[in-house]
Structure 1
Amino acid sequence: MAAQGFTSCPKKVRSTRRGSRRWRRALVAAAAVITLPGLAGPALAMPAHAPIHRTPQGGFEELMVPSSMGPVKVQVQWARHGGDAALYLLDGLRARDDFNAWSFETGALQMFAEDDVTLVMPVGGQSSFYADWRMPSSTNGQKFTYRWETFLSEELPAFLEQYGVSRTRNAVAGLSMGGSAALALAAYHRDQFQHASSFSGYLNISAPGMREAIRIAMLDAGRFNVDSMAWPWSPQWLRMDPFVFAPQLRGLPMYVSSAWGIPGPHDNPEGAVGYFNTLNAVALEALSMVNTLSFMTRLNDLGIGARYSLPTRGTHSWGYWNDQLAGARPDILAALGL
């Protein structure tokens, strides 16, 4: 009996052990699939270039974009039909830290609402000229160095590419400080921008008196130091001057506008402050016109074409820049193939 009992037991034990080993192997295999998704095969693999997120077509969104300056807010109105073209809209010298003024001072959002183009409106950059500075501003305790050209030409396009926005099918437009910056970005990044618009820009910043005028304006707008941006007439300063880099604009579709500073339909001052602001806007626009005419002469001498809008009436204010964006819109859309 003992012998019989002994001989019958191993079959059950061997069966139990084989079952246990099979379960262990199954568990190990399952763990491998869970911890190494790449081993699960094509059915479980994520698309390599899928957008990480997309709002409904034509929707509005605020993004926080990583940069060498820290996170930068960017307001976006997505293309109406999901297209990959984009228009960058650059602010003026008094750019705010909460909103890009194109989003609330003008009808830009409504103007392009039915077009298949994404509006890209970076927030911040007061007195920056959207340039890469040599150091933080030494007159206001700035803790970091402006790197706006790097952000707009490298970091932001790479981020937006994840949302389906092309890195090469773009236009750029800006007013005042943003006008000269728009031309600079397009001149040095021709693979990225297919059109540039400057509204009331300062397009000859190396002309006599211009640097000191900019110094005063930057101190008034945030106490920024122009010398922290670039030394006087250094290669870095000249690189920012549209009059100097004009030859690099050859073949680029451009819309360039400025007015003579005579008050027009958008000027309705009230009280002492209103009249002071209007007089200031008159002077700033007149200075922009002098710069623009100099720049236009330079382009004509080089045989470089552009579309100009030089109305008599108009001051350095948002109502006129809204009008000029509307005027540039057909050219912008045509350059983007829309």
Structure 2
Amino acid sequence: MSAVRQAQLRSETVAGKPGRVQNRQAEVTRLMPRPLLIIVIAVLSALVLIPVLYIFFASINSDISVAQGDFFPTELSWQNYAKIWTSVGLANGLLNSLAVAGSTAIVSALLSVATAYVLVRFAFRGRLTILRGLLGLQSIPGTLMLLPVFVLFSSAASYLGVTIIGTQWGLFLTYLTFALPFSTWVMVTYLRGLPRELEEAARIDGAGSLGVLLRIIVPLSWPGIVVSAIFAFLLGWNDVLFASVMTRPESQTVAVALQIFGSATEGGAVPYYGQMMASALVCAAPVVILYLIFQRYLVGGLTAGGVK
């Protein structure tokens, strides 16, 4: 049996005691009485579900009924879900958002795990400065960076002859600039909780730094990688400010398409409430699906750095 496998068995034996899990669950249930816990959960669920139900009912209702304030639809119609693909231009926006936000999430997660591994496991001059800089960058509002980023990318067309403004990869670079510091800090927090014995055992077996990263760190860091990737994906999916400035009609994201559609229908007698609600549900579906698929990784990744 290799040294790596022995170290993994020792870590699983220590971490796999069922008594600890049961004790933590008992401590959680003792925080409040069971009837009060049921009431709190019911209230929180209502606060989340009632707005979602209203959006769904409005998406299958007529615009006049929604304007009158009706919660339940007077007549059921699924035409709004068919109209949004031509009136809103939802298909092009969804493809652009998936391409930009998905590439940002993947590249940010891969770069952050490698950067965090170097910052956590190697000692060199300037290491603490980089860590403090990553934390300090989170305090800078993204709104203040809009004009500098736009001027920098527009100047690249003059000095380098490369067009960045109005392209998908230009928007990808913009999102990566803001997503990478946060993703790296998430991975730094996660890697600090991984046992060093596994890496030492892998080095005894002859693995180098790259082999340790690919064979030990990456497989054990999936919860942290998923968390950093999803947050980077949300950054690109929900952004309107940078996407409205850095894109053209053919490269605009779905958030910009919704904003333009909502602004264009405000001047009418009755806005297209049904189409706007249907578009909102369709645009929220990819994010909900991601959360449902990677839920167990999200819980482990978010709590890894807080419990020792």
Query: Structure 1-normalised TM-score?
Result: 0.20
Q: Which structure is larger by alpha-carbon Rg, 1 or 2?
A: 1
**The structure with more strand, counted as a fraction of residues:** 1
